Amino acid sequence: AQKITQTQPGMFVQEKEAVTLDCTYDTSDQSYGLFWYKQPSSGEMIFLIYQGSYDEQNATEGRYSLNFQKARKSANLVISASQLGDSAMYFCAMREGRDAGKSTFGDGTTLTVKP
Amino acid sequence: DAGITQSPRHKVTETGTPVTLRCHQTENHRYMYWYRQDPGHGLRLIHYSYGVKDTDKGEVSDGYSVSRSKTEDFLLTLESATSSQTSVYFCAISEGDTIYFGEGSWLTVV
């Protein structure tokens, strides 16, 4: 069975600094994908970034990058130059097989950006 | 925006009553999903659909049923609501390697 572990229930970062949110996963599949979602206090789930298991380069999307270490089974999210609007809950998720919709989610990390 | 609309957005219901949540999408997506999110936790898959009348169970399907008679609508029914089903329910579609979520439906069972 697949499993996602986010060990940091809460994180604080100073505005304009970088922050890393940890995610480790466990799967026996060779082909899988890893996602990060942001959930602000308003409740919607916002897709941030995706990394496929066969992708050789780490994914980047603007200020977001995914530090993918396959041997360690980790997929950490790095947010550069934090902004106050980055304060939210962040979820790491992994898709089962080829169906992105059948994903397993971690319990999330609450990020608070301090001015 | 994947054109997903959920209704109702908020509902309070009594234990033992049936409840139906509706997910409507306007972009002809084949694959649709229902997830639930409990306080302080991530999302868990309830049911999913790969097309009209093609549905299957997810991780936490007990107490729920679904129907999909039209491509655009995916209905989630709580047969007899219980307090443990108080949660936020998210509908989703998948497109390539990404899933997009609706805005969520907040359900409280009292």
User: Across the interface, which of B42, B48, B104 has its CB nearest the CB of A101?
Assistant: B48
CA of B92, closest CA in chain A: separation in Å?
A: 7
Q: What is the pLDDT of residue A97?
A: 78
Planar angle of CA B98, B28, B73, nearest 5 degrees = 100
**A-chain residues near B95 (CB < 8 A):** 100
Q: What is the pLDDT of residue B30?
A: 93
Task: Confirm if B47 and B57 have CB atoms less than 8 A apart.
Answer: yes
pLDDT one-digit tens code per residue, B33-48: 999 999 878 899 999 9
**B-chain residues near A35 (CB < 8 A):** 98-99
- Is the four-CA dihedral A94, A96, A100, A103 of positive or negative sign? negative
Whether B11 shows a pLDDT value over 70: the answer reads yes
- Let me know if A113 is exposed, middle or buried by CB neighbors in 10 A (0-12, 13-18, 19+): buried
Task: Confirm if B109 and B13 have CB atoms less than 8 A apart.
Answer: yes
Distance CA B55, CA B80 (A): 20
pLDDT one-digit tens code per residue, A68-87: 999 999 999 999 999 999 99
Q: What is the mean pLDDT of residues A25-29?
A: 91
Tokens encoding B105: 């439906």
Distance CA A109, CA A9 (A): 5
More confident position, A100 or B77: B77
Q: What is the pLDDT of residue B56?
A: 96
Could you tell me if B63 lies within 8 Å of chain A, comparing CB atoms?
Answer: no
- Let me know if B62 is exposed, middle or buried by CB neighbors in 10 A (0-12, 13-18, 19+): exposed
How many CA atoms within 13 Å lie on the side-chain side of B103?
10
Distance CA A98, CA A76 (A): 22
DSSP string of A13-65, one letter each residue: EETTS-EEE--EEE-S-SS-EEEEEEE-TT---EEEEEEETT--SPPEETTEE
Q: What is the pLDDT of residue A65?
A: 97
The share of chain B scoring above pLDDT 90, in percent, equals 89
**B-chain residues near A108 (CB < 8 A):** 40-42
Q: What is the pLDDT of residue B40?
A: 77
